[in-house]
C-alpha cells in the first residue's frame, strides 16, 4: 500500500490544498491513502470522517509538531495534546500514549532535526525523502544511515494539489486505520517511494 504520509490542508495557514481536492485526486496519484498532518492540530477531525472513504481511499489523521529540536509527524491519540511542549515532553507523550513519531524533513536548511534526537533513540522513523526538500537536503540523510538504525518514510509535504503524492510511503502490510499506521511505523514496515527524483518547488520557511 502507498500513502502520502505528509499532507497539509487549508487548515494550515501556509497551505492551499483543499480537503475535497485530496479526496478527488489522491487515487489518481497512485495513492491508497493520505495522512493529513496539519501544523500543531488535528482539526481535520471536525471536517472529515477518518478511515476508508467511499472511493476506497484511506484518510488518516496526524499532525506536524514543531519543537526546538525540529519538526515531527505525530500519529496516535493526540487530539488533545498541548501545542507548546518541548521535544522531551513531546516524546514522553508519544511513548505514554503509544503513538509514533517521524522526523520531518530532517536536513532542511531552515528547519533541521537535531541529530541528538536520532542518536539518543527518541525518534525511530526518519523522513528519508521529502517532496519539498532540495535533492541535496534529502541526500544528507545518508550521513545518518551510516551511523544509526531507523526506519524511513517519505512524504510530499504537499501544500498544493500539484505536490500531492510526489513522494510516498510504501507499507509492507495493510493499513486501514490509525492503529495499523502506528504499528507499521513502530515496527519499521515502511519505506519511501519517489514519484519524482527532484522537486524544483521553492521551499517555504514556515513549514
Residue 126 lies in a domain: yes
Residue 200 lies in a domain: no
Q: For residue 152, what is the domain's CATH number? A: 3.20.20.140
Judge whether residue 159 has pLDDT over 80: yes
Which residue would you say has higher pLDDT here, 198 or 126? 126
Q: CA geometry: angle at 183 spanning 181 and 187, to 5°?
A: 120
What pLDDT is recorded for position 199? Answer: 41
What pLDDT is recorded for position 207? Answer: 54
Number of domains in the chain: 1
Which residue would you say has higher pLDDT here, 194 or 115? 115
Residue 163 lies in a domain: yes
| Cα separations in angstroms, 105 against 32, 56, 58, 184 | 22, 29, 24, 20
CB of 14 within 8 A of CB of 39?
yes
DSSP SS3 for 172: coil
pLDDT 10s digits, 10-67: 999 999 999 999 999 999 999 999 999 999 999 999 999 999 999 999 999 999 999 9
Domain of residue 47: give its range.
2-194
DSSP SS3 for 163: helix
Residue 189 lies in a domain: yes
Burial class of residue 136 (count of CB atoms within 10 Å of its CB; 0-12, 13-18, 19+): exposed
pLDDT 10s digits, 186-197: 999 999 998 644
- Looking at residues 92-107, what average pLDDT do you find? 98
What pLDDT is recorded for position 174? Answer: 98
Burial class of residue 104 (count of CB atoms within 10 Å of its CB; 0-12, 13-18, 19+): buried
Residue 42 lies in a domain: yes
What pLDDT is recorded for position 55? Answer: 96
Amino acid at each position: 500500500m502507498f500513502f502520502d504520509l505528509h499532507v497539509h490542508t487549508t487548515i494550515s495557514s501556509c497551505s492551499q490544498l483543499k480537503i475535497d481536492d485530496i479526496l478527488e485526486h489522491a487515487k489518481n496519484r497512485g495513492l491508497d491513502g493520505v495522512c493529513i498532518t496539519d501544523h500543531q492540530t488535528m482539526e481535520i477531525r471536525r471536517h472529515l470522517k477518518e478511515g476508508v472513504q467511499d472511493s476506497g481511499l484511506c484518510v488518516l489523521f496526524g499532525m506536524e509538531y514543531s519543537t526546538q529540536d525540529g519538526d515531527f509527524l505525530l500519529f496516535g491519540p493526540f487530539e488533545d495534546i498541548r501545542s507548546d511542549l518541548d521535544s522531551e515532553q513531546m516524546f514522553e507523550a508519544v511513548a505514554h500514549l503509544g503513538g509514533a513519531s517521524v522526523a520531518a524533513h530532517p536536513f532542511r536548511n531552515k528547519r533541521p532535526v537535531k541529530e541528538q534526537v536520532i542518536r539518543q533513540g527518541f525518534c525511530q522513523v526518519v523522513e528519508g525523502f521529502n517532496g519539498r526538500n532540495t535533492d541535496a537536503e534529502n541526500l544528507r540523510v545518508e550521513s545518518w544511515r551510516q551511523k544509526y538504525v531507523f526506519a524511513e518514510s517519505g512524504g510530499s509535504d504537499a501544500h498544493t494539489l500539484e505536490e500531492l503524492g510526489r513522494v510516498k510511503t510504501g507499507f509492507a502490510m495493510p493499513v486501514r486505520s490509525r492503529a495499523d499506521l502506528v504499528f507499521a511505523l513502530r515496527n519499521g514496515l515502511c519505506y519511501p517511494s519517489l514519484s519524482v527524483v527532484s522537486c524544483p518547488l521553492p521551499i517555504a520557511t514556515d513549514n
